[in-house]
Amino acid sequence: MSSTLPRHVAIIMDGNGRWAQARGLPRAKGHEAGAESVRAVVRECRKRGVEALTLYSFSTENWKRPPEEISALMTLLKQYVLQERAELMEQGIRVRVIGQISRLPLFVRKPLGVLCRDSERNRGMVLNLALSYGSRAEMVHAVRQIGQEIAEGRRDPSTISEQTISNRLYTAGLPDPDLLIRTSGELRLSNFLLWQLAYTEMYVTETHWPDFREDCIDEAFAAFSGRRRRFGKTDAQLTED
């Protein structure tokens, strides 16, 4: 059984729209309510000693949504960065961003870049925001880097290993997630950290993201503690270890 805290927690924050629809509210109100859950979960994970928290905030596929919803999401993101900056710095949280950052509007990129730079030396917890992120695009980016090294004669193809690829992903330097949480009951990965989640324990809850709070973290971590992580070994081998 696993009695340890997950070092790296990844969350697919799903259900903002359904939460709003169930209350007769516009989708933007669901995203606003979801921002409160982000605040609560970041605080709770930092308090518990989680080393890294990766939040699937906006996917490459989300650019297909109505322009007004995208605009509302970007405005909300800027507000979060500005409003939470002081607490994130006080708590020693290092903010990183993964994804196709150049696609984000400048009014978001600028304060986000400043926060990432100013929090770079923080060691309390890494808050990894997946923005304009898609795992397949991430892997294509890594393969192109390796291909360029080979074309320039800087790498022999026979030296390529799993670590070679991991080192060229957006998450380089972070441990792979121990626990993936997905809210709102959906049973799919949605192009999220496909390489990194190879041996991650998955926890799915019917709770919509705006209702996900500290008690939900309790339940997810308790479920994780009850898992037996084999990594390809048998139970007998684990007992011997």
Catalytic positions are: 14, 62
Length of the chain: 241
Rounded to whole angstroms, the Cα distance separating 71 from 22 reads 22
Cα atoms in the Cβ-side hemisphere of radius 13 Å centred on 37: 25
Q: Tell me the C-alpha distance between 142 and 121, whole Å.
A: 26
Strands (E), the chain: 8-12, 52-59, 93-98, 125-133, 179-182, 201-204
Tell me the C-alpha distance between 227 and 145, whole Å: 36
Q: 73-110 burial, b for 16+ CB within 10 Å, e for fewer?
A: bbebbbebbeebbeebbebebbbbbbbbbeebeeebbe
